[in-house]
Every structure is written in structure tokens, then in C-alpha cells.
Amino acid sequence: MRRQIPFLVEALTILGLVAAPFVLPHLGFNPTTINRILVWGLVGIGFDLLFGYTGLLSFGQSAFFGSGGMFAAYLLTQTSMHNTVAALLIGTVVAGVIGFFIGLIALRRTGIYFAMITVAIAEVFFFIEFNPLSAFTGGENGLPGVPTPNLSLGFTTIEFSSNMGMYGFLAFCYFVGLMIALRLVRSPFGLVLRAIRENPLRAQALGHNIQRYKLAVFVVAAMYAGFAGGLLALMQGFMPPDAFMFSTSGEIVMQTAIGGAGTLFGPLLGAAVWLYLSDFFQTVLNLGATWRLILGIVFVLLVVFLRHGLAGAISDAYRWMRRGRQGAQPQSGASVAGRTPGTASHAKVGRKPTKSKDGVLLSATGLTKHYGGLAANSDIDFSVMHGEIRGIIGPNGAGKSTFFKMLTCEVEPTAGKIVFDGRDITKMGVIDACQMGLTKSYQINQLFEKLTVRQNLEIAVLGEVRGKFKLDMFRNLHKVRKLDHHVEGTAALVHLSDRLDAPVSELAYGEKRRLEIGLALATSPSLLLLDEPLAGMSTQERVETVALLKAIAEGRTLIVIDHDMDSLFELAGKVTVLQEGRVLVEGTPEEIKNNPLVQEAYLGGVHEEMV
């Protein structure tokens, strides 16, 4: 794992903030614009956590930006409060509380529907500010008379009234906000956010309560917006009503896109470009209302030609130069040829304890699933013993996938009962099932493609060692107990130790299949369900993967679906055959091979005619 220079980002940030007020004026930035860049950069950090790191596109940040700023301004202008820092913090908390309740509603939907709900929220808050609450917010006049920032030390009070003093105050606030965000994205909490962005369904299947994580980051983004709104009021001496306007949310989105989402520094760069060009077009070129058209064209060009934004382009250029200096490095192939089948047995991965060590571990009774008038599964009785390797086969359309989804609680059955380790899990969700020790690998790889192999395995392990939700936003990821040991052990077991720091997108197909198994294995399951683990593999890879699965099965119960019956019969001690959504027959591999009902199901009577 490549080690980074400690505190390099922090040191470069301080250097940049110190140099900015001396360098930027020579590039055409006036002091007010520089201060506004810091305010917009700060609200952009919160939005970047929400959108760039979690994948939630919100157009409602103006509601929190305006609410936090207006509440702080009200305290400082309409009450006896004079402590600007306290007012800022109270406004931030108010924005967070509003964000919590709004998030409970908005996060019930995903994708475009979530985005549309946030648009409606922005419009509702704009209406409320201008009408029912105009007596408190000043309506279209806003709240004037907001004092400049001050810091009371007891024996004296520091005023930040000069341009340089105001910049110093805003720069300090930006630096603190950035450091908090950096700690958050480097924490276990931050890694789970990236998992949600890449593949929310798989993050959930690995035992993470993604709804709670989404709500938490939604509140954090609202607090960043509220704090920045308060800073805007202090900087201008006036809380403007246009902070609530939908165009404010649009500018936050566009600035983040220009600068680069998922970078934290991108919103600051985007704000610098946006505000500089808007001032340049209006004051230097005197374009009047046309400046919006020109700026829109510039935005489109930047997004088209710099898909990852300015910060992303800088990062890509750095990686390209670094690869050029290092030269081409040989990549590992998909095959694990050259390793003996027993190699995996030296690496051990734990499993969750069960109430008993023998007898039935999983049982399904009368399991039925209907989709409208279509019966995918009907009245299935099925049980698996502790330590058993059970195979499931059946022709295409036999209902194997639906049956698997019901066993792992991804789909709730229409009728019937599922009992795992003595507990009824019929109506349980996939998150709780995983936490109990019941996990599956997928037929089609469900990986976190833009992350590394190490990060993929860490996400899986975190679900096991931390539980389904934990607000450890400021904890060092690698100080999580047994995390690195568990990740390295799992990687060794699936023969990916030399690929831990490789992006998943660069892996060969066989490596991705092993990682798919590794993700399920990293949750320490007591019952592991494998959905076609041999799909798409070469003959040699299948032999090696069967050996791998045998090593995995030591002390663990497995249920395997696959169409490669030779490999499955070698692996399983007992096989269940499904046909038309029902159990056709069960028995040993030898019994299944010679069963005429199975031959009829697969060959449709052709076997008898050939005989």
C-alpha cells in the first residue's frame, strides 16, 4: 500500500490560503470576490460530501444556506446577542435540524425522484421566507445591519472588520471545514459513503444500513450550507433573500461540476472560476444580462472537455506523469495457475458464531413467491445442515435465482417460512440477514468498480466489525480493530494479495469473480450462498475455483447454484434440483446423475429416444 506524506494536504492548503490574498489581486480578483470564493467553497464542501462522495444530487441546498444564514442574522440583528461565533454555530445547528427532517422525507426516494423532491423543497423554503415569515426574515428586503465577525476572549474582543481581517476569519473557517471533511472521507464512515455512491445495493447486502448513512451525510451537508450562509451574512453585513432562491442551489451544483466532484477542493476552484468570470463579464466587458448566456456556454465547454472538473484534471495529469516515471508494470493475470490448490487453506477467515454446531442451520417451509399471476416458486421445503455443501441445479427458468433471493432476504416470500440458526428471518431485510451471518455472492459481479481491491474488502469487513451503522466520522480507518488483518487474510484466501491496491476496473474477469466471492467471505458468514461462482470461467479457472471453494467451506456451510454440473457434483455432498419453481428431487450427486426425472427435466425426453 502506497504511503502518503503525513499532513501534506493540510500544509499545502495553509500555504495556498496564506498566498491567495497576495497573488489573486494580481490576477484580477478583488477582495470581496476572494472572500465570496471562500464562502461558496465552504458550502460546496458539504454538497461535495453529499453528491461527490455519496452520489446524492440535491438541488435543495439553498434552503439550508438561507435558513442557517437567516437564523444567525436574526439573532444578531433582532436580539441582544452580539457573539457572532455563537450565532454562527446556532444557525448551523438549526440548518442541521431542518436537514434531518427534510432528509427523512426526501431520502425515501432515489435518483431523479430524490432530486425533484429537493427542487420542491428549495421552492417551498423560498416561498416561506418571502411570505409567512417575512416579518422575521425581512422578506424581499432581507436582514440588514449584521455586524462584522468578532471573537470574544473574555479580556478583549477581536474584530475582523478590515478586508484582510475578514479574509483571515473566512480562511480559518474554510480551513476548519475542510479539515473536518478530510477526516470524514478518510474514516470508515467516509468509505461506506463511497460504497453507497458506487453500488448502493451491494453496500446494503454487505450489512450497511445505507438509509441511515444517507441521512447522516444529508444533515452534514445541510450544516455546512447553514454555516456558510451565516458567513455570507457576516461578510456582507446583510443577509440577502436571494440566498433562498433556486438559482443559488444551481450555482452550487455548477461550481462543484466545474471544479470536480468527489475532491473537496473542486468546489473552491469552481467557485473561483464562476465568480471571476461573472465579475469579468459584467464589470469589464459590460455584457449586461448577456453574461449569463456566455457563462452558461463556458460551463458547458468545461464540463464536456473536463469531465472530472479542474481538480480531477489536475489529479489525472499527476497520475499520468507518475505512471510515466515508473514505467509499465506487469499485471497479474486472471488465472491462479502456479499456485497449488491447497494454498488458500493457509489463510483463514473467521465466521460468525451460531447457536449450535450441528443439526439444521437453514430451513424453508412452504416457500412461495408470486409476481402477479406468475408463480416463480411454489411450496418449496428445503433444509441445510451445519457444515454441509449443498448444490442447487435446474434448467433456465426453474426459479433458482428467486429462491436464492428469498433465502438471503432480498425478496420477501408471498407465503412460507424461513428459519436461520433457530430464528425466523422470513420478513427480515438483507442488512439484518448479513449481520446474522447469511451472505451471498452474485451471478453478475456486484463490485465497487472505481475503488481498489483493498477498499472493496474493507467495505465488506466494516459491515462485520462495526455493525450496520456507526457515526465514526473522525476515526482513522486503519485503526479499526482487526480491519487490516481481516482484509489481508481474505485477499490471501482468494489469491488477490498482490492486487490489493489495484483499481477493480483494471482486474481481469477471473480476478473479479474471486473478488466477488471475497466480498461475501469478508463478512464472516456462517452460511455462504454462491450464485454461479464458475460462470464465464475457463476450464483451468474452474478447477482452481472449485479447490478454492473447498478451502472456503472448511468450518462453514455453503449453498451453491451453478450450471457446471461436473464441478458442482465434485463440490457438493447433496444436490437439490428445481423445476418450474418446485423441488423436483434431492439426493447425492451420483443419485442425481442417474435420476430419470432429472434427465427428463434437462433433456426433455431426448435421452430416452437416444437410448
**Residue 190 domain flag:** yes
Question: Which residue is listed with cell 456582507?
Answer: 236
Residue 328 identity (one-letter amino acid): A
Taking the C-alpha atoms of residue 208 and residue 206, their distance in angstroms, rounded to an integer, is 6
Contact 411, 370 (CB under 8 A): no
* Residues 609 and 470 reside in one and the same domain: no
Backbone torsion region of residue 381, taken as left when φ is above 0, otherwise alpha when ψ lies between -120 and 50, otherwise beta: beta
**Residue 603 domain flag:** yes
**Residue 16 domain flag:** no
**Residue 401 domain flag:** yes
Q: Minimal CA–CA distance to 390: which of 376, 400, 398, 399? A: 400
User: Which cell goes with 559?
Assistant: 449453498
Backbone torsion region of residue 207, taken as left when φ is above 0, otherwise alpha when ψ lies between -120 and 50, otherwise beta: left
Taking the C-alpha atoms of residue 548 and residue 330, their distance in angstroms, rounded to an integer, is 25
* Residues 426 and 497 reside in one and the same domain: no
**pLDDT greater than 60 at residue 331:** no
pLDDT band with cut points at 50, 70 and 90 for residue 344: very low
| 3-state SS, one letter per residue, for 466-481 | CCCCCCCCCCCHHHCC
Q: Minimal CA–CA distance to 148: which of 136, 137, 158, 140? A: 158
**pLDDT greater than 60 at residue 279:** yes
* Residues 426 and 536 reside in one and the same domain: yes
Contact 269, 311 (CB under 8 A): yes
Taking the C-alpha atoms of residue 438 and residue 445, their distance in angstroms, rounded to an integer, is 18
* Residues 399 and 465 reside in one and the same domain: no
User: Which cell goes with 157?
Assistant: 474582543
The residue out of 524, 555, 583 marking a domain boundary is 524
Q: What is the CA radius of gyration of the chain?
A: 29
**Residue 507 domain flag:** yes
* Residues 567 and 590 reside in one and the same domain: yes
**Residue 13 domain flag:** no
Centre a 10 Å sphere on the Cβ of residue 288 and count the other Cβ atoms it contains. Answer: 9
E strands along 184-260, which residues?
Answer: 238-239
Distances (CA, A) of 393 to 140, 402, 505: 69, 13, 31
The residue out of 194, 223, 245 marking a domain boundary is 245
Contact 185, 53 (CB under 8 A): yes
Taking the C-alpha atoms of residue 439 and residue 385, their distance in angstroms, rounded to an integer, is 16
pLDDT tens-digit map of 114-172: 999 999 999 999 998 888 888 888 888 889 999 999 888 877 888 898 889 999 999 99
* Residues 59 and 180 reside in one and the same domain: yes
Taking the C-alpha atoms of residue 181 and residue 193, their distance in angstroms, rounded to an integer, is 13
Distances (CA, A) of 596 to 18, 381, 566, 603, 607: 82, 21, 18, 10, 9
Contact 541, 334 (CB under 8 A): yes
pLDDT at 603: 59
Residues in the chain: 611
* Residues 118 and 212 reside in one and the same domain: yes
**Residue 119 domain flag:** yes
User: Which cell goes with 290?
Assistant: 448577456
pLDDT tens-digit map of 356-383: 888 999 999 999 999 988 899 999 999 9
* Residues 392 and 482 reside in one and the same domain: no
Counting the structural domains of the chain, the total is 3
Helix (H) or strand (E) run with residue 44 in it = helix 31-51
pLDDT tens-digit map of 535-564: 888 888 888 888 888 888 887 899 999 888
Taking the C-alpha atoms of residue 445 and residue 516, their distance in angstroms, rounded to an integer, is 6
What residues does 159 pair with on adjacent strands?
150
3-state helix, strand, coil in the chain (%, to 5): 60, 10, 30
Mean pLDDT, all residues of the chain: 88
* Residues 461 and 605 reside in one and the same domain: no
Coil vs helix vs strand at 520: helix
**pLDDT greater than 70 at residue 605:** no
User: Which cell goes with 50?
Assistant: 453529499
| Average pLDDT of the residues in 73-90 | 94
Centre a 10 Å sphere on the Cβ of residue 314 and count the other Cβ atoms it contains. Answer: 17
CATH code for the domain of 382 = 3.40.50.300
Give the domain extent around 472.
Answer: 447-524
**pLDDT greater than 80 at residue 349:** no
* Residues 375 and 512 reside in one and the same domain: no
* Residues 149 and 203 reside in one and the same domain: yes
The residue out of 245, 279, 303 marking a domain boundary is 245
Positive or negative torsion for Cα 175, 181, 182, 183: positive
Contact 255, 271 (CB under 8 A): yes
Q: What angle, 0 to 180 degrees and rounded to 10, lies between the N-to-C axes of helices 210-236 and 61-78?
A: 50
Give the rounded percent of residues in the chain with a pLDDT score beyond 70: 93
Centre a 10 Å sphere on the Cβ of residue 467 and count the other Cβ atoms it contains. Answer: 12
**Residue 545 domain flag:** yes
Distances (CA, A) of 356 to 348, 420, 425, 555: 21, 11, 17, 13
Q: Which positions ≥6 away from 292 have C-beta within 8 Å?
A: none
* Residues 559 and 452 reside in one and the same domain: no
Highest-confidence range of 63-67, 290-294, 319-323, 325-329, by mean pLDDT?
Answer: 63-67
pLDDT at 586: 93
Q: Minimal CA–CA distance to 87: which of 454, 79, 37? A: 79
Distances (CA, A) of 322 to 95, 315, 317: 42, 11, 9
Order of strands across the sheet that contains 423-424:
374-385, 360-371, 415-420, 423-424
